[in-house]
Structure 1
Amino acid sequence: MSELLRMESLSVTYRTEEGPLPAVRDVDLVVDRGEVVGVAGESGCGKSTLASTVLRLQPASATVTGTVLVDGEDVLTMRWADLRALRWAGASIVFQGALHSLNAVRRVGQQIAEPIRLHEPSVSDAEVDRRVGELLEEVGLPVSRARAYPHQLSGGQRQRVMIAMALACRPALIIADEPTTALDVMVQAQVLDVLSALVRERGVGMLLISHDLSVLADMSDRIAVMYGGRVVEQGRADQLFTDPLHPYTTALGASFPRVGDPAARYAPAGLAGDPPDPRELPPGCSFHPRCPLASEECTRAEPVLELKRPDRSVACVKVPVTGGAR
């Protein structure tokens, strides 16, 4: 598989009235063509900031360091003309709030057509209309919905329109930031089926951001778990939640009740406490105040994300290196 996205030593800090807020800290991540890489973690762990950095969408208050390579080109040092060409055509984003992302006073067909007209000005009106119809059908909507306004569509239909817009210029990389958060379970399953088919049939790469572990486990090839702005565990999806190594990954998996298990129903194993304030991170491992395995050793220095098992990186001093990882 060819590499589409590479993040190296990526850090994002926001300037606020209360002082610097380090939202993302020293993240390394790779997405290959035809691969779905999921990012998990509680609210505030830096997932959405990570997603927006791929196309340099941070506000002016953000300071970004490190490297973000999309198809070999560094987004952070790219000229504005090249960045505009990359957006939509090279990589695109599906945001979580479709109703807020769509223009309320324009028909959805016009909004799907807009990136095509901007990036491919030589395409005829008839060809644009044909491609809009194909995109709608590809995401499971009738062509007639092109004339609808966003308020005339259901939540699931609006989300499908957002996916159609993201695919309009045939990008190789899609960033999906909580694409099913506001949807009911049945519609969520339909939207996820659409995304899965797109990766499988088009061979695109996808960075999937979600707090829903079941979605990530079902969709992803690999998963990165974030806490306190850092990746604390990374590995294959089929291993990460069946055999978690980092105590935080274990707690995330245990927080979901198991259907048919009375013990889980009446005594859900949630995680006590809240994630740390990024402005006031505890010394050492940022998870140690909530960690059941924490000891004095965990307060001395922040653990390095390192290979602990084949294909499994973990940032925890309590997890030994075994299984020929080195």
Structure 2
Amino acid sequence: MPDLLTMRDVSVTYRTEGGDVPAVRGVDLALSRGEIVGLAGESGCGKSTLASTILRLQPPSATVTGQVLFEGEDVLTMSWGDLRALRWAGASMVFQGALHSLNPVRRIGDQIAEPIRVHSPETPDREVEARVGELLEQVGLPPTRARAYPHQLSGGQRQRVMIAMALACRPRLIVADEPTTALDVMVQAQVLDVLSALVHELGVGMLMISHDLSVLADLCDRIVVMYGGRVVETGPAEGVFGGALHPYAGALSAAFPRVGDPRARFAPSGLPGDPPDPAQLPPGCAFAPRCPRAIEECTRAVPELRSFGADRSAACIRVAS
């Protein structure tokens, strides 16, 4: 049986007035049913662009190469009819900023019901309403909230509505793009608990995108770290967060202090500099200009992603074999 999602050598290039901009460069990724994979990295590293290829949501200016296989079928070569059937029913997306994603003049019950009516138009209204109530209860909201408008809900409640919409057609894959960025810490924890419980109860797969490695470490089974449009490290969540191989993954982990760790309290760690401009990537390793361990050899060639044990990979020449 094939993986739920398999991405092979995926590259995405945007056409601009200033020339072609490579946003994603040769990424491989796999995700199985019942698994949560985290995609981490700073803004501009290519996370959301990569995720958009799963449902073929790129703008006309984008050129995508490689393979994006959903249950063995290539999304990039699907007919429009097959792609339309895949969206919502096969794979769905939870976007960041629910207030901007929800229609402000429609009740949330109608918005949750819309994908059900589109994909199953023969379903009686009574069953659709019952399904909406069931979905709201699944994400921890009373069914009576179906009559509310988005502005009548809190940020956490709106995000739960987005999750309910993503689950409306019982998809096998959920792509969550920074779903908790705009939420406070307590509400963030509640939303993450909802997501984790739903994945394990329903047996769906989830790709979770975030710049916060600590969030991914708590939620995910595996983590994929991206930098400059490429994967620089993959491995079990606990291993990547607690013992990163690549210097960049280590810097991401160190940026989030551990509660009770006096070293993090009195000597907070950060990463100087900014991520590279995709249109002007440095030679060799894109992280070399910011890397405290960089040597001259790092600027000569782009390091390949190498395996270190059965479940760890890193793209760094300084990592010991």
- TM value normalised by structure 2: 0.98
Could you list the per-position Cα deviations for residues 123-173 of structure 1 after superposition, in whole angstroms to 9, with x for gaps in the alignment? 100000000000000000011100001111110010000000000000000
Quote the Cα distance in structure 2 between the aligned partners of 1:267 and 1:15.
43
Identity of aligned pairs, percent? 75
Could you tell me whether the CA contact under 8 Å between 1:54 and 1:68 is conserved in 2? yes
Quote the Cα distance in structure 1 between the aligned partners of 2:137 and 2:282.
50
**Helix, strand or coil at the partner of 1:241:** helix
Structure 1 portions without partners, runs of 5+: 322-326
Could you tell me whether the CA contact under 8 Å between 1:2 and 1:33 is conserved in 2? no
Quote the Cα distance in structure 2 between the aligned partners of 1:203 and 1:245.
31
- Report the equivalent of 2:229: 229
- Report the equivalent of 2:159: 159
- TM value normalised by structure 1: 0.96
Quote the Cα distance in structure 2 between the aligned partners of 1:293 and 1:52.
33
Q: Cα distance, 1:253 vs. partner? A: 1.1
Q: Give runs of aligned pairs for residues 232-243 of structure 1, distance below 5 A.
A: 232-243=232-243
1:202 aligns with 2:202: yes
The residue type equivalent to 2:238 in the other structure is D
**Helix, strand or coil at the partner of 1:271:** coil
Could you list the per-position Cα deviations for residues 12-50 of structure 1 after superposition, in whole angstroms to 9, with x for gaps in the alignment? 111112221111110000010000000111111011111
- Report the equivalent of 1:83: 83
Could you tell me whether the CA contact under 8 Å between 2:15 and 2:62 is conserved in 1? yes
Q: Cα distance, 1:264 vs. partner? A: 2.3
Q: Cα distance, 1:2 vs. partner? A: 5.7
Could you tell me whether the CA contact under 8 Å between 1:14 and 1:23 is conserved in 2? yes
Q: Cα distance, 1:64 vs. partner? A: 0.4
**Helix, strand or coil at the partner of 2:188:** helix
- Report the equivalent of 2:147: 147
Quote the Cα distance in structure 1 between the aligned partners of 2:205 and 2:263.
39
- Report the equivalent of 1:272: 272
**Helix, strand or coil at the partner of 2:68:** strand
Could you tell me whether the CA contact under 8 Å between 1:37 and 1:206 is conserved in 2? yes
- Report the equivalent of 1:324: none
- Report the equivalent of 1:316: 316
**Helix, strand or coil at the partner of 2:4:** strand
Could you tell me whether the CA contact under 8 Å between 2:214 and 2:241 is conserved in 1? no
Q: Give runs of aligned pairs for residues 56-75 of structure 1, distance below 5 A.
A: 56-75=56-75
Quote the Cα distance in structure 2 between the aligned partners of 1:276 and 1:214.
23
Q: Number of aligned residue pairs: give it.
A: 321
**Helix, strand or coil at the partner of 2:260:** coil
